[in-house]
Amino acid sequence: MQAKKSQGKFKSLLDLSEEIISYLAMLFLVIMILIVSTTVFTRYLFNFTFRWSDEVALLMMIWFGFLGMALGVKQSVHLSIEFFMSLVPDKYQTFIYRISNVLVGTFGWYLFKYGWQLYERTKATRLPATQWSRGLLFITLPIAGALILIYSVFQFFGVLENKSIIVDEPDTEAVKEEM
């Protein structure tokens, strides 16, 4: 009973992290779109661009990409070979997905470890246009790596369900509609 309660707390915490990361990723995407649109508009209409626009748009794209990658792991929408998995009997699919969780978690660990080293080496240098720390470009690597590792571990232990598991069960809604 206590284990189920702990799993529920972890799951709700992970779901909250997913919601926060989703909003952050949406914010970064909107900012990136606004900056790029403004840059294109001012470049062609006024032959002028803000000198910081490319740097900030790049920063938003990097953050959006890596946060999106972590969300993809949480939601089990990362690349998998569905055709191959559809050929594997159902009883082996869980085992293969567990191996996948271990491999993805290992990737998350390396992303965390080496991303942190890259951040440490670049945080003292400055971006030319904004004068922000170059570490802002790279701090997202260990953040995304930690999230990927956490999500993979919780998927491995069944706290998070692996939504990509293929089960050959008929879609009950589709069957009802056909009748």
In tens, the pLDDT along 98-147 reads 888 899 999 999 999 999 999 999 999 999 999 999 999 999 999 999 99
This prediction's pTM: 0.82
Residue type, 175: V
- Residue 21 belongs to what H/E stretch? helix 2-46
- Residue 174 belongs to what H/E stretch? helix 172-178
Q: Exposed, middle or buried by CB within 10 Å (0-12, 13-18, 19+), for 154? A: buried
Tokens of 83: 């055709």
What does the pLDDT look like over 2-54, one tens digit per residue? 666 666 788 888 889 999 999 999 999 999 999 999 999 999 999 999 999 99
User: Cα separation of 28 and 63, whole Å?
Assistant: 7
User: Cα separation of 70 and 147, whole Å?
Assistant: 6
- Residue 60 belongs to what H/E stretch? helix 53-74
